[in-house]
Chain A
Amino acid sequence: MATEERTKEILKGLHEAVAQFEEEEAAKWSKIALEEGVDPFIATMEGLAEGMMEAGDKYNKKEYFVPELLMCADALYAGLDLLKPAIEASGRKSEVKGSIVLGVVEGDVHDIGKNLVKLMFEVAGWTVYDLGKDVPLDKFVEEQIRTESNVVGISALMTTSMLNMPEVIKRLRAKNPKVRIMIGGAPVNPEVAEKYGADGYAKDAGTAVDEAIKLLKMLKEEELSKK
């Protein structure tokens, strides 16, 4: 059992490895964590995930760009690959913060942005149902109903495919008026989101999770006020 000081050191190592996108370092510190008996759940949440949060923060400040963020993700996964089996073995379940259906709208095959958003949600402890790219409009609706997710995130990278968004939103609302919908992607901006009737908009992966949390909070408040 590692001392409190040593645990701190290991968590810092994990954190730094992810934030500085050093894949080998992340694997190295994860091994150390397991060897020295650090709780794999704590190593993941307070080490790796915290590092990813910092990366997201740097991305928001424009210090990091897409490549750095993707490499941070690589480092994160390098660590997770080792720590996850240990968490599962321990039988410990993490608290799920929320669930979201994600996809790139029909007619569009650009999914880097969506993948980054997915990653940030996972790190933040959300369950993500990823539909991938070029997703038929009704698929969003079916998946939302199947998974009972509170939030649906739709992405588009082209002005042309973006035009499919209002239709998805319409169909989702028709089936489930309570669902919260957020949209994003290069051609989308807050005005478009408002025009299309989306509940939320995030300009990039760094802000998407916060926006989703905000939407959930609003949803809960609404439900409370109804009661």
Chain B
Amino acid sequence: MQGKKEKADQCMVIFQPSGRRGFVEKGKTLKEASVALGVDIEGICGEKAICGKCKVRIDQGFFEKYGIESSREHLSSMGPTERKFFSLQQERGGYRLACQAKVLGDVIVFVPEESRMGKQVVRKAAKEIQIELKPAVKKYYVEIPKATLEDTLGDWERLEMGLEKSHGLKNLTMDYQTLMSLQEAVREGDWKVTVSVWHDKEVIKVEPGLVKKAYGLAVDVGSTTVAGYLCDLTDGKLVATASMMNPQVIYGEDVMSRISYTMTNPEGLEYMNKAIIDGLNGIVEEASAIAGIKRTDILDMTIVGNTCMHHLFLNIDPRNIGRAPFPPALHHSMDIKARDWGLKIAPEAETVEIGGYPPCQVACPAGISGQDFLYFIAQGKFDEALEEVRRAMPFAGVCGRVCTHPCEPECERSRVDAPLSIRALHRFVADHELKKGRPKTTPVEKTKEKKVAIIGSGPAGLACSYELVRRGYPVTVFESAPKAGGMLRYGIPDYRLPKEVLDDEIRYIEELGVEIKTDHPVNSLQGIWGQGYQAIFLATGAWVSETLDLPHEDAKGVSHALDLLRKVNSGEKVEAGNRVVVVGGGNAAVDAARVMKRLGAEEVLVVYRRSRDEMPAIKTEVDEAMKEGVHFNFLAAPVELLNLQGRIAGLRCIRMELGEPGEDGRRAPFPVKGSEFEMETDHLIVAIGQKVNGKGILEELGYSNPGTLTVDPVTLKTSMEGVFAGGDVVLGASDMISAIGAGQEAATSIELYLENIDLIKGRPAKLKKVEEIPIEGVDKEPRKELPLLEPEKRTGFTEVDPGFAAQLETAIEESKRCLNCGIYAEKGAAETGVSRDIGIKIAPGAYVHVLPIEAGFVGADNVGVLIAETPYFQDSIELIIDIGTNGELILGNRQKLISSSCATGPAFEGAEIRYGMRAAPGAIEKIVIDPETKDVRYKVIDREGWNTEMEEVGAKGICGSGIIDVVPQLFLAGIIDRTGRFKKDLKTPRSRENNGEPEFVIAWAKETSIGQDIVVCQSDVRAIQLAKGAMYAGSKIMMRHFGVEKVDKVILAGAFGSYIDKVSAAVLGLFPDCDLENIYSVGNAAGDGARMALLNVEKRKEADTWARRVNYLELTLEPGFDKIFAEAMWIPHMKDKFPHLAHLLPEKK
């Protein structure tokens, strides 16, 4: 939708890969721009930055093709609300939320696949092809004699002899990588193996046992679409088709703009090469997944593409094919090891791509991306690393000490050696800041009016307040205790979590603008509503200890762990006693035991009814307790409290044994009859669980005493409108990271609630874990553990774990162990020293065969067309037209072949046409105009029937086949004349003028989803005339050189070749007159050719032979080209006769 800049305050916005563009008013959001330009971006939260589904990326630089300078600075700056959806790397990579970023200047916006609503319809469908099977890779089954002490010949020599004996193969060579896995394969198959041999020359794969199936992939890399055809090499059948938009589209729509991108950007070639290699690997993955095979089962690959694509995927500088005389780097076909087709990784974050998320981040309830902050630590950028943690949550220092680290067991590094010390490393960045002093944070501006009350200042409540304050809400936290922190402050002893760490992180939250009212118990929710709050988050925790339910539990000397810890943490004096028994196996039990030891108890014994493996306490804490001299009595449970004059004196226990695992996966304990025993104690501490205080506000919510409050598991909604609850009050005695996660979820729910958006639909999507991370070639490097304070030095409450704080280098070294599992940070891999093979990921020994090219603008794709259509075997004279962004022509028969190329431009692909678009749902693909009434009937992709037969059409624009229909239809209906000029004074409201330019309405606004009339204007017709004129002129000049007046057959090939209406193409004058019966649409012939070359090596030879024999004709050098071209722009032509169209065309005046 190109338009004129009408006012000074308009900016050009170009969306990729759809290519839609237009001027929008300054200050509009990208989302608004996308709606106006007919680009569908996901998003359901009503543009409130809650669902995070409208992620887009801004591409920077001066784009010669559009003449605009696109910059991230051309958007409004990112606020904290938006920022939370991105990692720092993503932010620096140019990611934005379309609903938040306001346009202030020209921008090029890339809409990633997951943010696209209407997915592109790739119309490169494959047809059945008949061809004799003669693949380059064949499988041979061979049984070889076992190695024995008497016969110690090497495995390879043994195999060589076997292959010669049973299959007559001689002089074979062995692929080096295959060799490395040879011994294992041979032994695994008990000396019976299947060997894949390439061209009967080189062994490229050895598999144990008999394996019959072999697969190959044929790929057509088009400027706009890439299509892969996975074939079974044993029967020639097509087993899967995979396709995608060419990811290079963001660097330019046509080959010329991509070439110029390499010329103006030093990293241009690398970016584009990486984009297409990643894309090809995507095709490999997708096709393998559809077929249900492993990607390493793909043993061969053929590839075609125009000369520019060919150079770009081979990482060859294409600049010389971009200027006269257009010589390519080479013409000949090539065989390259797929794995060697490596890339240099771009050094800057320009190519950041959101793929899957790292497993550590997916496992973390608070969504901290370990990978992202480790990436910064590895570079010594500690502040950035901390900022990265704080994007997710405010407790880097606290979590870094007491978190149960669900991330670490998920760490992929454990497949190599041991997981990263993720917990210790985020503590490290927090400590680093604390040590040097944290500057005061600026408060977040309150942009929202509705007030939120949070009851409870534990991790859940504070995490929720942190989310909401960053989103601009006024938040008040009510805390009944004298200080904030909840269980973090009153439940965890100082030797694990020093108070100054907690204090600082709470202060940070307050500095952002959260108001915390301590000593402020809330007795009624009604009271809160009365103060004007519009939503409440209840995070009051579970502070009531479960009781043993035995007589004498109220005796002196019996206490409950939580009460005890609270007292200790509040500085109250606590009598330790001499012989302490703690009953329970959770963190509270272990903490209480260690605290008592520190307070001077002579002996501390923990009694737990299951074994050590079942203990819910953090394992390392149990280890440390043991080192400190705490004793454990496992598989024992109290049955009676021994009471001496109102004071505890001892405990009678019973032995337990474990049964089968129960529903929670833990083995349930059962008492062993007659196994009772007694123990003395003067201080019994009960630590067997926590529950909520069901009195007061919980009663208002209809709490009915199951121990915890029941809420909606996803939205955390309670029974009262506007009240949400989470953390221990819902989970029971849980862990801080789960509580933080609950606080975040609650914040999302509250915002959705306040903005009146569906609480389920409006939530951000769950993070998707990255698939299969390659670990081959990663060297082992042990996890850096830090020695803890020696047990004998653990007097008082000194922190036991010193962390990495003093050892910057160790922290950096440890961070470098990260494998950077998330796809978007692949460049991190190079910088942190992990090398990875990133060639084409098929069988490691396999080759890729790149078909030859004919000339600068007649590439391997045209060779594909050539070997698919084989005009060189025909007597009749064929004209083959490959329609794409660059049009390629072949003319001839067995006597002679000529090829040429014409710059049709992207008009047929929908670009440079005001309402043009690529083939996608909503695109008008067929148009018929009634010559009498001038009414229009059209068909839309993915909708059955004509527009006139449906209520809601939802048209968005016109795609290639529709564009080829529209001009002949306008002409036949008398709306334009033969010169392409719009006629005046037509009696139909569809025909009108816009700013002095005539246009014709194809679809009225009410039939569209873009809210405006879809029209074809004079400039559109002109662009199509130029494109079709170039094709026609090319055909004519070739015919002249060939010495013929007419052709016998016209073959239309190309991405949408099979969708083109051949009568429309003929009336438009895409080619000279031909019998309509002899015009064929063959679809993607280039892809067919690639498949044939995959299935039959003779075809590869044929390709090499004919690519050289075809005579390339440079059309622009033709004398009189101007005139031939000009005449060909009329419809169908200025002078030529069309006897075969006589019945359709109006009489010439």
Tell me the A residues contacting B by CB distance below 8 Å. Answer: 61-68, 70-71, 106-112, 115, 134, 157-164, 187-192, 195
Q: Which 9 A-B pairs have the closest CB atoms?
A: A107-B323, A160-B322, A67-B1126, A189-B67, A191-B67, A159-B260, A192-B67, A159-B256, A70-B1126
Please report the C-alpha to C-alpha distance between residue A61 and residue B1022 in the assembled complex, in whole angstroms: 12
Contact B1126 A66 (CB under 8 A): yes
Contact A62 B1126 (CB under 8 A): no
Residue B257 interfacial (CB < 8 Å): yes
Q: How far is the CB of B1000 from chain A (nearest CB, A)?
A: 14
Contact B979 A160 (CB under 8 A): no
Complex interface: chain B residues within 8 A of A115 (CB) = 1122
Contact A65 B980 (CB under 8 A): yes
Residue B971 interfacial (CB < 8 Å): no
Contact B979 A65 (CB under 8 A): yes
Residue B530 interfacial (CB < 8 Å): no
Contact B996 A61 (CB under 8 A): yes
**Docked complex: B970-985 residues within 8 A CB-CB of A:** 979-981
Contact A109 B322 (CB under 8 A): no
The interface stretch among B392-400, B414-422, B779-787, B1127-1135 is B1127-1135
Complex interface: chain A residues within 8 A of B259 (CB) = 159-160
* CB < 8 Å neighbour of B263 from A61, A64, A160, A195: A160
Please report the C-alpha to C-alpha distance between residue A164 and residue B322 in the assembled complex, in whole angstroms: 12
Q: How far is the CB of A132 from chain B (nearest CB, A)?
A: 12
Contact A109 B1117 (CB under 8 A): yes
Report which residue of A68, A108, A159, A190 has the largest number of chain B beta carbons within 10 angstroms of its beta carbon.
A159
List, sorted by A's number, 7 A–B pairs whose CB atoms are closer than 8 Å.
A66-B1026, A67-B1129, A107-B322, A111-B1116, A159-B64, A188-B67, A195-B62
Known contacts A159-B260, A163-B263; A62/B1127 CB under 8 A? no
Contact B64 A163 (CB under 8 A): yes
Residue of A nearest to B62 (CB): A195
**Docked complex: B220-266 residues within 8 A CB-CB of A:** 252, 254, 256-257, 259-260, 263-264
* CB < 8 Å neighbour of A160 from B319, B996, B1019: B319
Contact A70 B1123 (CB under 8 A): yes
Contact A65 B260 (CB under 8 A): no
* CB < 8 Å neighbour of B1127 from A67, A134, A160: A67
Complex interface: chain B residues within 8 A of A162 (CB) = 64, 260
Please report the C-alpha to C-alpha distance between residue A63 and residue B981 in the assembled complex, in whole angstroms: 6
Complex interface: chain A residues within 8 A of B1130 (CB) = 67
Residue of A nearest to B984 (CB): A63
Complex interface: chain B residues within 8 A of A164 (CB) = 323
Known contacts A65-B1022, A108-B323, A159-B256; A70/B264 CB under 8 A? no
Q: How far is the CB of A202 from chain B (nearest CB, A)?
A: 15
A-contact bits for B42-85, CB 8 A (1 contact / 0 none): 00000000000000000000101101110000000000000000
Please report the C-alpha to C-alpha distance between residue A164 and residue B319 in the assembled complex, in whole angstroms: 12
Report which residue of A62, A63, A111, A192 has the largest number of chain B beta carbons within 10 angstroms of its beta carbon.
A62
Residue B404 interfacial (CB < 8 Å): no
Residue B1125 interfacial (CB < 8 Å): yes
Please report the C-alpha to C-alpha distance between residue A43 and residue B1100 in the assembled complex, in whole angstroms: 66
Q: How far is the CB of B482 from chain A (nearest CB, A)?
A: 64
* CB < 8 Å neighbour of B997 from A62, A68, A71, A108: A62
Complex interface: chain B residues within 8 A of A190 (CB) = 67
**Docked complex: B295-325 residues within 8 A CB-CB of A:** 319, 322-324
Given contacts A159-B260, A163-B264, A187-B67, 20 further A-B pairs with CB under 8 A are: A65-B1025, A66-B1026, A66-B1125, A67-B1126, A67-B1134, A68-B979, A71-B1126, A107-B322, A107-B323, A108-B323, A109-B1116, A112-B1126, A115-B1122, A158-B322, A159-B257, A187-B256, A189-B67, A190-B67, A191-B68, A195-B67
Q: How far is the CB of A210 from chain B (nearest CB, A)?
A: 18
Complex interface: chain B residues within 8 A of A188 (CB) = 67
Residue B333 interfacial (CB < 8 Å): no
Complex interface: chain A residues within 8 A of B981 (CB) = 62-65
Complex interface: chain A residues within 8 A of B68 (CB) = 191
Please report the C-alpha to C-alpha distance between residue A134 and residue B325 in the assembled complex, in whole angstroms: 9
Contact B1019 A62 (CB under 8 A): yes
* CB < 8 Å neighbour of B323 from A64, A106, A112: A106
Q: How far is the CB of A23 from chain B (nearest CB, A)?
A: 12
**Docked complex: B948-984 residues within 8 A CB-CB of A:** 979-981
Residue B1012 interfacial (CB < 8 Å): no
* CB < 8 Å neighbour of B1122 from A65, A70, A187, A192: A70
Contact A65 B67 (CB under 8 A): no
**Docked complex: B69-121 residues within 8 A CB-CB of A:** 69
Q: How far is the CB of A147 from chain B (nearest CB, A)?
A: 25
Please report the C-alpha to C-alpha distance between residue A195 and residue B264 in the assembled complex, in whole angstroms: 13
Residue B1018 interfacial (CB < 8 Å): yes
Contact B64 A110 (CB under 8 A): no
Please report the C-alpha to C-alpha distance between residue A188 and residue B319 in the assembled complex, in whole angstroms: 19
Complex interface: chain B residues within 8 A of A63 (CB) = 981
Q: How far is the CB of A226 from chain B (nearest CB, A)?
A: 32
Complex interface: chain B residues within 8 A of A134 (CB) = 324
Contact B1122 A112 (CB under 8 A): yes
Please report the C-alpha to C-alpha distance between residue A189 and residue B1127 in the assembled complex, in whole angstroms: 27
A-contact bits for B1123-1147, CB 8 A (1 contact / 0 none): 1011101100010000000000000
Please report the C-alpha to C-alpha distance between residue A107 and residue B321 in the assembled complex, in whole angstroms: 10
Report which residue of A61, A67, A110, A134 has the largest number of chain B beta carbons within 10 angstroms of its beta carbon.
A67
Q: How far is the CB of A190 from chain B (nearest CB, A)?
A: 8
Complex interface: chain B residues within 8 A of A68 (CB) = 979
Q: How far is the CB of B253 from chain A (nearest CB, A)?
A: 10
Contact A66 B997 (CB under 8 A): no
Please report the C-alpha to C-alpha distance between residue A71 and residue B1025 in the assembled complex, in whole angstroms: 16
Complex interface: chain A residues within 8 A of B252 (CB) = 159
Complex interface: chain B residues within 8 A of A109 (CB) = 324, 1114, 1116-1117
* CB < 8 Å neighbour of A62 from B62, B903, B1018: B1018
Complex interface: chain B residues within 8 A of A70 (CB) = 1122-1123, 1126
Q: How far is the CB of A3 from chain B (nearest CB, A)?
A: 34
Contact B65 A187 (CB under 8 A): yes
Q: How far is the CB of A212 from chain B (nearest CB, A)?
A: 21
Q: How far is the CB of A151 from chain B (nearest CB, A)?
A: 22
Contact A110 B1116 (CB under 8 A): yes
Please report the C-alpha to C-alpha distance between residue A159 and residue B251 in the assembled complex, in whole angstroms: 13
Please report the C-alpha to C-alpha distance between residue A134 and residue B565 in the assembled complex, in whole angstroms: 86
Residue of A nearest to B1122 (CB): A112
Please report the C-alpha to C-alpha distance between residue A103 and residue B1019 in the assembled complex, in whole angstroms: 26
Q: How far is the CB of B1017 from chain A (nearest CB, A)?
A: 9
Contact A108 B264 (CB under 8 A): no
Complex interface: chain B residues within 8 A of A110 (CB) = 903, 1116
Please report the C-alpha to C-alpha distance between residue A112 and residue B903 in the assembled complex, in whole angstroms: 14
Known contacts A191-B68, A192-B67; A62/B1022 CB under 8 A? yes
Q: How far is the CB of B74 from chain A (nearest CB, A)?
A: 14
Q: How far is the CB of B22 from chain A (nearest CB, A)?
A: 15
Contact B64 A187 (CB under 8 A): yes
Please report the C-alpha to C-alpha distance between residue A157 and residue B254 in the assembled complex, in whole angstroms: 13
Complex interface: chain B residues within 8 A of A160 (CB) = 256, 259-260, 263, 319, 322-323
Complex interface: chain B residues within 8 A of A163 (CB) = 64, 260, 263-264
Residue of B nearest to A164 (CB): B323
Complex interface: chain A residues within 8 A of B67 (CB) = 187-192, 195
Residue of B nearest to A71 (CB): B1126
Please report the C-alpha to C-alpha distance between residue A62 and residue B1021 in the assembled complex, in whole angstroms: 10
Residue of B nearest to A115 (CB): B1122
Complex interface: chain A residues within 8 A of B257 (CB) = 159
Complex interface: chain A residues within 8 A of B322 (CB) = 107, 158, 160-161
Contact A107 B324 (CB under 8 A): yes
Complex interface: chain A residues within 8 A of B65 (CB) = 159, 187
Residue of A nearest to B1125 (CB): A112
Please report the C-alpha to C-alpha distance between residue A164 and residue B1126 in the assembled complex, in whole angstroms: 27
Complex interface: chain A residues within 8 A of B1029 (CB) = 67
Q: How far is the CB of A198 from chain B (nearest CB, A)?
A: 12
Please report the C-alpha to C-alpha distance between residue A106 and residue B903 in the assembled complex, in whole angstroms: 18
Complex interface: chain A residues within 8 A of B1129 (CB) = 65-67
Please report the C-alpha to C-alpha distance between residue A108 and residue B1025 in the assembled complex, in whole angstroms: 22
